[in-house]
């Protein structure tokens, strides 16, 4: 009897684990829209409610509606902190040739910079650097990780 109930328990545990992992996978794929990352993992904050990064689709540098909202928050934050300068780091995922990715990262960082400038932030406060695919934030080889790595990150300089 004990053996039977033990088995039952084990099966139950296995089943629950499977169910949970299925749930977490489902939740993760929900963090991607098109192939732009929309989740919160890896995101840091310049101040409360001001995310430091925006994400891009494969081979693209256009800003999504969500990215523009994030950048407007950054612009508000930068207007309030007039002495603060930032560097915008542009990044690409690992699924592209190194040199092209350097150019792509530069293009992405500038897309973010241009948007901040249209919201009144002086270009002098916004420098840009591309790391291409050299500094992934998530080392995994998976579509989710790649989407987290296709990003531009606004970093305080002073």
In this chain, which of 15, 79, 114, 156 binds another protein, going by CB under 8 A?
114
Question: Is position 116 an interface residue for another protein (rule: CB under 8 A)?
Answer: no
The closest alpha carbon to 140, from 94, 99, 102, belongs to: 94
Please, which residue, 50 or 119, has the CB nearer to another protein?
A: 119
52, two tokens: 């430091």
Q: Which stretch binds another protein (CB under 8 A): 33-41, 49-57, 68-76, 103-111?
A: 103-111
In this chain, which of 88, 111, 116, 153 binds another protein, going by CB under 8 A?
111
Q: Can you list the positions of beta strands (E) in the chain? A: 32-33, 36-37, 45-47, 50-51, 53-55, 86-91, 126-132, 151-156
CA atoms lying within 13 Å on the CB side of residue 105: 25
Binding interface with another protein (CB under 8 A) = 59, 61, 94-100, 102-104, 106-107, 109-111, 114, 129-131, 134-141
């Amino acid at each position: 009897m004990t053996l039977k109930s033990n088995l039952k328990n084990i099966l139950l545990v296995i089943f629950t684990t499977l169910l949970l992992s299925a749930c977490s996978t489902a939740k993760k794929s929900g963090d991607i829209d098109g192939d732009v990352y929309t989740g919160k993992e890896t995101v840091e904050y310049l101040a409360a409610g001001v995310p430091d990064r925006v994400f891009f689709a494969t081979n693209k540098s256009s800003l999504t509606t969500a990215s523009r909202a994030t950048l407007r928050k950054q612009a508000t934050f930068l207007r309030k902190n007039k002495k603060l300068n930032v560097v915008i780091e542009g990044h690409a995922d690992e699924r592209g040739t190194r040199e092209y990715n350097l150019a792509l990262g530069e293009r992405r960082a500038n897309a973010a910079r241009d948007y901040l400038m249209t919201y009144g932030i002086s270009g002098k406060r916004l420098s840009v650097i591309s790391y291409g695919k050299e500094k992934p934030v998530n080392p995994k080889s998976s579509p989710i990780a790649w989407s987290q790595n296709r990003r531009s990150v606004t970093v305080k300089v002073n």
